[in-house]
């Protein structure tokens, strides 16, 4: 595509893109560099601050909570989001135009575009009321988990919905034509065919949960400090310290790793796709 552009325009685009990438990645790189800062009283850079993290019980406890929360909410969020994406795509194939056809994307997008601050506060108020009324829903990992599932499911649904929309609708008819009832068609056709989307959605949900601060902050209770909340309070208390840099670097590495995994699954999906007709 860029080959069609005149050389001066190409140069100009390149020159614009470099600062953009710089602004995107330089801060991250900076944190990573600072994380290898020498220990107090030493002059050699090294893994000192990483070592510190391993011996900080608060950090390890927060990490454990974050992982528990992310894993639990992602599993539930993926299951619900998959069903949601599947259901909405089947709904769409029946409604061809008008409000009914736009409804699925509306349902999916609204939670996604909702400001997380508003989302967090409304969850806080909701759980408070529920707690007063029923005695359940005490602020803690459970309320955080529920809140995470509610923002994860639409993302998963979006990924699954997109995959479903790219499939030949005749596939589902073909499965019924070949004696599969609704359950069999879902298990033996839908799930395998959208598996890359489900896995991709899960990984997305996981990264969303593990680095979520705003919504977690409002729904957290005593003793449910996750890694992002820990980092925030540590920074608020004593400013940026090198151990926070090390922690942030680890999180960046994790998220990039998961991102690469997700990319791999998306690629696999493309390879499997069959053209709709002919050669």
Partner 1 sequence: MAEPAMLPRIAGQADAATSSAPTSGIAPRGAIRLEGISRVFGGGVVAVDRIDLDIQAGEFFTLLGPSGCGKTTLLRMIAGFETPDAGRILISGREMQSVPPHKRPVNTVFQSYALFPHLSVAENIGFGLRMRGVARPERLARTEQIMALLQIDAFARRNPAQLSGGQRQRVALARALVNEPEVVLLDEPLSALDAKLRAELQVELMRMQKRLGMTFIFVTHDQHEALVMSDRIAVMEQGRMLQVGPVLDVYEQPRSVFVAEFLGLSNIWKFTPRPGNMAETAIGALSIATPITTQRTAMIRPEKIWLYPEADAPRDRPNMFAGVVREAIYMGASTQYNVALAGGAIVLALDTNNQAAERSWGPGERVVLELKPANIMLIDG
List of residues contacting partner 1 (CB under 8 A): 96, 168, 170-171, 173-181, 184, 188-189, 192-193, 195, 271-279
Cα 58 from Cα 230, distance rounded (Å): 8
Report, in Å, the least distance between residue 192 CB and partner 1.
Answer: 4
Q: Which is nearer to partner 1, 185 or 207 (by Cβ)? A: 185
Report, in Å, the least distance between residue 98 CB and partner 1.
Answer: 10
Q: Which is nearer to partner 1, 144 or 193 (by Cβ)? A: 193
Q: Which is nearer to partner 1, 11 or 267 (by Cβ)? A: 267
Report, in Å, the least distance between residue 212 CB and partner 1.
Answer: 33
Report, in Å, the least distance between residue 240 CB and partner 1.
Answer: 49
Helix axes 227-238, 57-94, angle to 10 degrees: 130
Report, in Å, the least distance between residue 259 CB and partner 1.
Answer: 25
Q: Which is nearer to partner 1, 40 or 279 (by Cβ)? A: 279
Q: Which is nearer to partner 1, 30 or 171 (by Cβ)? A: 171
Q: Which sign, positive or negative, has the C-alpha torsion 231, 227, 33, 20?
A: negative
Q: Which is nearer to partner 1, 95 or 235 (by Cβ)? A: 95
DSSP assignment of the chain:
-GGGS-HHHHHHHHHHHHHHHHHHHHHHHHHHHHHTPPPTT--S-SSHHHHHHHT-HHHHHHHHHHHHHHHHHHHHHHHHHHHHHHHHHHHHHH--SHHHHHHHHHHHHHHHHS-HHHHHHHHHHHHHHHHHHHS---TTHHHHHHHHHHHHHHHHHHHHHHHHHTS-THHHHHHHHTT--HHHHIIIIIHHHHHHHHHHHHHHHHHHHHT--HHHHHH--TT---HHHHHHHHHHHH---HHHHHHHHHHHHHHHHHHHHHHHHHHHHHHHPPPSS--
Report, in Å, the least distance between residue 199 CB and partner 1.
Answer: 14
Report, in Å, the least distance between residue 196 CB and partner 1.
Answer: 10
How far is residue 58 from each of residues 61, 133, 222, measured CA to CA in Å?
5, 33, 14
Q: Which is nearer to partner 1, 73 or 190 (by Cβ)? A: 190
């Amino acid at each position: 595509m860029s080959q069609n552009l005149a050389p001066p325009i190409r140069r100009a685009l390149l020159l614009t893109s470099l600062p953009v990438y710089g602004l995107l990645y330089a801060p991250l790189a900076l944190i990573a560099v600072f994380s290898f800062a020498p220990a107090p009283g030493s002059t050699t850079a090294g893994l000192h601050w990483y070592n510190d993290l391993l011996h900080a019980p608060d950090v390890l406890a927060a990490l454990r909570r974050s992982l528990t929360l992310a894993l639990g909410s992602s599993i539930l969020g993926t299951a619900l989001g998959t069903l949601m994406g599947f259901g909405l795509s089947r709904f769409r194939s029946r409604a061809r135009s008008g409000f009914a056809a736009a409804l699925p994307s509306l349902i999916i997008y609204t939670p996604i575009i909702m400001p997380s601050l508003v989302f967090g506060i409304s969850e806080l108020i909701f759980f408070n009321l529920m707690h007063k009324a029923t005695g359940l829903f005490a602020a803690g990992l459970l309320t955080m988990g529920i809140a995470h599932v509610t923002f994860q499911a639409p993302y998963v649904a979006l990924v699954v919905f997109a995959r479903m929309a790219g499939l030949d609708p005749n596939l589902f008819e073909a499965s019924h034509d070949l004696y599969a009832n609704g359950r069999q068609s879902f298990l033996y056709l839908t799930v395998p065919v959208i598996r890359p989307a489900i896995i991709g959605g899960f990984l997305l949900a996981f990264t969303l949960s593990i680095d979520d601060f705003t919504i977690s902050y409002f729904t957290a209770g005593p003793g449910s400090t996750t890694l992002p909340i820990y980092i925030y309070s540590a920074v608020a208390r004593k400013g940026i310290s090198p151990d926070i840099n090390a922690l942030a670097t680890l999180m960046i590495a994790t998220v990039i790793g998961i991102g690469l995994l997700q990319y791999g699954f998306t690629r696999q999906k493309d390879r499997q796709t069959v053209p709709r007709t002919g050669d």
